A and B are shown apart, each in its own frame.
Chain A
């Protein structure tokens, strides 16, 4: 027998035929296709019992109720809670992406201690006992040296039990330096304090208003409680009018009934100009002006003498006929409402502007009226006795705040975080030896990043309570990670701008995934380590017990419903609404001069004005955009990893659409791409906020430029708050 080539081929052919008639190829093809569905990166939803947990979103101060759909123990989707007084079923792009902040890679999973140089990213995992001991050791030694006042704390909020516990600890420990992160809330609180008295929150009965005059507020771009305002905006479409005064065609402007482009920074002047027409034409509410206000005559003289429509037109670039018709329409509307605070309202503004706009509301008599501006008292459910202070604490508390809030220079301002870097850098008062950061990311959100970093570098001991590896956590010495919002209990009081008091309860949707600890519990543990009067100020076993006891009878309802809403709340009548002002009446105060805030930079070397703009798709607060959200950003805002600035084609000579340019300001420079937009006033360069993170995940870090690196601080002369709305800039070809 001779085996030849043909035999071999025959064997192969026979094999092939046999294989074809066997199940092998057909079965393998079928299995292979199923196999491709099981690749590890193909996400497979959990299968099992579906349940829903009601909670509240605390990714921004908006306070929206959320319903989280769970399958077994896995949170699957965040939706707006139906019937919640703030958002009634609605949710924003950040809220809906919240699960990525729970399951995503940016979490800090255990307490960390820095081992390398600050910001180098070298960490050592430590236990909670070690972490707390470390903090206590530092605090005890500072107290021994009589330096308790050199401990400062930056908090995202000053309301609710967690923030109050932190503030209470500082008081009992002996530091006056509890500092809230700035926002328009500061400006509004101060305005209300000066004009209406007290420390009430300012609420807007926006849903019922029929004429909304917005001085640059991003009503549908995150201003106030974002989802609530978007819903209110839908109502205005049916029975209301919205006038947007802004130098750029924002989404709010585009959706408004009328868009008035104004020379940037002259909003206060326009408000006074409108007031001039209202007074001139006797369109103001005489009952309110005569019987319930103080200083109206003085205000009248001031407005009539200095803000004639022609003069105002000259300054603002809004024609006098427009000013007149605006004033008439505003005054003649049955429920007019004037609001201010630029964009999302994440930075405060000039007090002058807030006073001018609030004066407009007062002129038409819509203070505490349906569709107007309401004073909303804080729900005083936190009834803890004042902490007893020992001698050290007493001494520390008498040292005076490092940010000078409440000092003779800024007597009415409560927190001035923006002044902290200069206070530390200049070393005029005293150094800060230890800093605690909770619910805030100052290294990203504060203006003039370089100065902030410089100040941070001077603080020898920085503790971050962040759940995420954000810019501040990266530059801390110790990270004591808090549970994320879906893992913890927390009370969330009335969100900014809400007209009726509401408390919502944040509930754990899932059990903590990592070795994190509730900030409330951490504060209690630290306080208890001290013993003495500091420990006595915190009689609770743990945070949950504290919260339960504090909420008392409301606890059960909050657990069941998720919120407690005072739907029948009506603001005080004019007769007794202003009892906290010196005159017991609404005060037409005129603090400071009515000139527009001058921004940094000289016109010669910096011919453009750089202004930031906000978008719902870009989280610019202490939380960065999760991957879902950043994916929604258009390529006229962020092109691959490069930031795009908007510029009017008329001033864009020499630049190509989509081309590169170097954007420089007195504070810094950045390489940007240029996008032509007719919606931007000539001479203005508009830049998105919320980009340029160096921390968080690969989806966010290294994309675009942080606007805060390009802008400096412009202090409001009266309040000390940051009033910068832009900075002069120049564009050169790259």
Chain B
């Protein structure tokens, strides 16, 4: 017999055997799908859990401010509110976090009972070292943000962007993005990007949200009553201190110089 006949015989046997095995196979297949589905769910749940719960913990490191600062206490003691310490310089630029020299105006020596203050005076004032404050609101370097345009011209409250930090009695933990080095406050506490307050998140969309609103107010230009010598080139220093800034054109270079 040729090998060809042998093969044909085998094929016949197989065809005959199939009907008896069919039911068993169906059950088995159902079971297999169940397992496959289970694995799908395991993968889904695990990755969701990782992405939502573990990933943020890995991405952000928890840092303590060098000195536990009591904003509420200071705001109560000064006259001008936020601007007492976070003031505008003569040229209109914003001073941001105070330098040591400014703190020393009051804290040349220990004034109160607070151990944190004593530590501040001993470790920084006495040694003349600047305090390496961690700035929650620091934006990436490519963002040009003039405080004066927003606070003085736009009449925005500090709290619109910074929240009620002025009422805090302790410095909260600074969560530093391990990859970018910026604070978690920029992306926001919520990983999904939900926000309840204007200050919960400070990504570009949040800036744009407000800028778009201003645009619809039909105010096309504003006049700044101060010199803008601090605006970097290529903007020439204007001859007068008055300058008109176009707020309608929402071009990229409004913030990205």
Q: A residues within 8 Å of B by Cβ?
A: 1-4, 6-8, 10-19, 21-24, 27-28, 30-32, 34-35, 37-38, 44-45, 47, 49-50
Contacts and interface: CB of A to CB of B under 8 A. Distances in A.
Contacts of B39: 3, 7-8, 10-11, 14
Contact of A21 (B42, B48, B95, B96): B48
B53 to A, nearest CB: 9
A136 B151 CA distance: 63
A395 B141 CA distance: 66
Interface residues of B, number: 41
Interface string B164-181: 000000000000010111
Interface in B30-46: 31-32, 35-46
A31 B180 contact: yes
B55 interface: yes
Nearest to A12: B43
Contacts of B36: 4, 6-7, 10
Contacts of A30: 187
B50 interface: yes
B179 A10 contact: no
B180 A15 contact: no
Interface in B122-140: 140
Contacts of B56: 23
Given A10-B39, A49-B95, A32 B179 contact: yes
Given A11-B42, A19-B47, A19-B50, 4 more contacts: A14-B43, A22-B48, A23-B193, A50-B89
A31 B182 CA distance: 9
B59 A27 contact: yes
A3 B192 CA distance: 34
A16 B230 CA distance: 49
Shortest beta-carbon contacts, A-B, top 8: A22-B51, A14-B43, A18-B47, A15-B43, A14-B40, A14-B44, A24-B51, A18-B44
B29 to A, nearest CB: 11
B177 A31 contact: yes
B44 A2 contact: no
B32 A31 contact: no
Interface in B49-106: 50-52, 55-56, 59, 89, 91, 93, 95-96
B35 A18 contact: no
15 contacts: A4-B36, A13-B43, A14-B42, A14-B45, A15-B43, A17-B43, A17-B44, A18-B43, A19-B50, A22-B47, A22-B52, A23-B52, A28-B179, A31-B180, A37-B142
Contacts of B230: 50
B89 A49 contact: yes
Contact of A31 (B43, B59, B96): B59
Contacts of B50: 18-19, 22, 24
B212 interface: no
A27 B47 contact: no
A1 B39 CA distance: 12
B97 to A, nearest CB: 10
A523 B141 CA distance: 46
Contacts of B51: 18-19, 21-24
Contacts of B140: 34, 37
Contact of A10 (B37, B91, B181, B182): B37
Contacts of B37: 10
A49 B102 CA distance: 13
A546 B192 CA distance: 68
Contact of B91 (A24, A45, A47, A50): A50
Nearest to B230: A50
A17 B44 CA distance: 6
Contacts of B35: 1-4, 7
A37 B37 CA distance: 43
Given A37-B141, A49-B89, A49-B93, A15 B59 contact: no
Contact of B191 (A17, A18, A27, A31): A27
A44 B47 contact: no
Nearest to B193: A23
B128 to A, nearest CB: 14
Q: Which of A2, A34, A37 has the most CB of B within 10 A?
A: A34
B27 to A, nearest CB: 13
B229 interface: yes
Given A31-B177, A50-B229, A14 B59 contact: no
Contact of B180 (A13, A18, A22, A35): A35
A22 B230 CA distance: 42
